[in-house]
Structure 1
Amino acid sequence: MRLSWASRITILRILLIVPFVSCMLKINDTEQLMRVAMRHAATVIFLVMAFSDALDGYLARRNKQVTKLGAFLDPVADKLLIASACLLLISQRGHVEGVLLPPTVVVLIIGKDLLLIIGFLIVYFTTSQVFVAPVLIGKIANNLQLIMVGAILIAPEVYSFFPGWIWVLRVLWWSAAGTAILVTLIYIRNGSHYIEEYEQGSVSREA
């Protein structure tokens, strides 16, 4: 089967995570020039991936090429990117100078994704069906996380003319954490309702 352009872009986004991580691991190098160059490179790669997130969805809808593969790969790419970025931003080697993402925020964001994966598996093994029902708040949460990471990456430049940038970052990362909690609760509710409806339907068919 020939891959659509939307799926190709999504796969490219997944592949770009490797050079992104590689650059992030060098942003605290001993040489100042290397630190700045690697952070700028990581920022550019991140922006390309963030833009591709919007582009692949647009192409899939415009060309009417929404596929099961694309519906699976797109959230996987998002989760891999956000998880790798968050883990790097709280690490000694990958954090941006002057900014350290609170571990609580990272736990809530990554914990949300882990719970959603567990929930997906529970629904699948209970109903033998794949249940993927995106909600608007989920997209908002994802966009907030992307903006948060991008804002942290450019923080050293912004600090030079706007010292209050740290307050913007705090609003962003706690908003991202809050929406992650909300998304988790909504998906738990939706998944529970889906299982209940499936079981009620099974009982009706048997009767």
Structure 2
Amino acid sequence: MNAPNMLTILRVVMIPFFVAFLLLDITEYDKYIALAIFIAASFTDTLDGYLARKNNQVTNFGKFMDPLADKLLVSAAMICLVELDMIPSWVVIVIISREFIISGFRLVASDNGIVIAASWWGKIKTVSQMVMIILLIGDFGGVFTMLEQVFIYIALILTVISLIDYIAKNKQVLKMQD
């Protein structure tokens, strides 16, 4: 297994630790540990893609698992933020629904021998969601309180745009039959 794929797997392994520190009362620094884990996990997303392209190690496993690892990390974080009453549940439902739709598209395409890599809209959407989560977990106060709200809606809008773009570019998947 190559380094980019190992980083993708590491991101998935980090999720339970992130959730535990965010939701459980383990230490007096839980929020900061959770924030550090989330930032580190988010960084692996950038690093694995960079290494895969730089070293010509792009694999079908990476094309499939990298976006899935992102979805797992971001979904876990947003569900925790709903639990902590930091983000409206309807926003999270819209965002996670998009992820299920895209995953369904990928499964149908995969069954037909097609691997669909993440689009630029999807990547920008993921970055906006990660920034939103960092701001919400950090709860930095002041002007950042307004930025938290702005990023919730930026992430939501980019989620919808990326869904529309994804469906438009991959509409042939809808026509595929068993």
Give the TM-score, by structure 2 length: 0.91
Residue in 2 aligned with 1:15?
A: 13
Residue in 2 aligned with 1:154?
A: 138
Q: Is the 8 A contact 2:5 2:61 kept in 1?
A: yes
RMSD: 2.0
CA distance in 2, matches of 1:117, 1:15: 20
Q: Is the 8 A contact 2:98 2:160 kept in 1?
A: yes
Query: Quick check: 1:139 aligned with 2:127?
Result: no
Q: Is the 8 A contact 1:23 1:41 kept in 2?
A: yes
Corresponding residue SS for 2:118: coil
CA distance in 1, matches of 2:173, 2:19: 37
Structure possessing the higher radius of gyration over alpha carbons = 1
Corresponding residue SS for 1:16: helix
Percent of pairs identical after alignment? Answer: 29
Distance 1:136 1:100, change over 3 A: same
Corresponding residue SS for 1:110: helix
Distance 1:108 1:147, change over 3 A: same
Residue in 2 aligned with 1:78?
A: 70
Which one of 30, 40, 55 corresponds to residue 48 of structure 1? 40
CA offset digits 1:118-145 (Å, max 9, x no partner): 22334455xx222404321111000000
Gapped regions of structure 1 (runs ≥ 5):
200-207
Q: Is the 8 A contact 2:8 2:48 kept in 1?
A: yes
Gapped regions of structure 2 (runs ≥ 5):
none
Residue in 2 aligned with 1:113?
A: 99
CA distance in 1, matches of 2:77, 2:136: 10
Q: Is the 8 A contact 2:52 2:58 kept in 1?
A: yes
For 1:170-181, what aligned pairs fall within 5 Å after superposition? 170-181=149-160
Q: Match for 1:87: what amino acid?
A: I
CA distance in 2, matches of 1:184, 1:141: 10
